[in-house]
A = this chain, B = another copy of it.
Amino acid sequence: MARQKLHIDELYEVTGKILIEKGYAGFHFKLVSDQLNVSRSTIYEYFSNKDELIASLMVHLMDTIMAEYEGLEHVETPMQKLRHIFDSFMKYAHIHQILLFAPFVNGDASDNVKKSMATLRQQHHTLNRMLTDVIEICKEVGSIRADVPSSLVASLLFQAIQIPKSRETSEADWNSLIFNVLLEGYGVPNGHNAATT
């Protein structure tokens, strides 16, 4: 077979795709090398083991995500901030799916992995804090019900990444709809909702 250049970004792309499709344990170098038309051993020139590749990918993806929140302070209202965060969740839904595999990464694989995962945890924490802070402020200004735990609001917003995309609606409209439904509920105000107890 003719020699094939390995491009890291392609490697990352394929790795992410396989992770989503097959799960963490279902990820194998063979699947990657087959799709990139390179030899399995070539990947080892760049990453010394499976977990290093995945951890490195995660850090890379997390960077993409964090970049979204650079100018967040300048966004006007807290609810607009929340919306911004939600939009970025939806925009990078696939990335968040991948990051969900973080707990599976074997940190003992190497020091590099350990470091990557530490960074990742750090950033994940930052992100979480940012979201919770915004939610708390929303509550303070009276935009979000005080009787709903912030963690629940955060959960609902985050889990929206798993909602299947609509094929009839544009992505923007679909996201708006979901955000709105979470905010206002799918119930009809003053409707026949007797079961709410």
Contact = CB atoms under 8 A, between A and B. Distances in A.
B191 A181 contact: no
Q: Which 8 A-B pairs have the closest CB atoms?
A: A25-B26, A185-B185, A25-B25, A183-B187, A83-B195, A184-B185, A79-B195, A23-B23
Interface stretch (A7-15, A53-61, A66-74, A137-145): A137-145
Interface of A: 22-27, 77, 79-80, 82-83, 104, 141-145, 148-149, 151-153, 155-156, 159, 162-164, 166, 176-189, 191-197
The number of times this chain is found in the oligomer is 4
A183 B182 contact: no
Q: Which of A80, A162, A195 has the most CB of B within 10 A?
A: A195
Contacts of A144: 186-188, 191
Contacts of A155: 162-164
Contacts of A196: 79, 83, 176, 179-180, 183-184
A162 B159 contact: yes
B179 A183 contact: no
Contacts of A163: 152, 155-156, 159
Nearest to A80: B195
B184 A142 contact: no
A196 B179 CA distance: 7
Given A25-B22, A181-B148, A186-B148, A192 B104 contact: no
Contact of A181 (B27, B142, B178, B185): B185
Contacts of A24: 23, 25-26
A82 B197 CA distance: 13
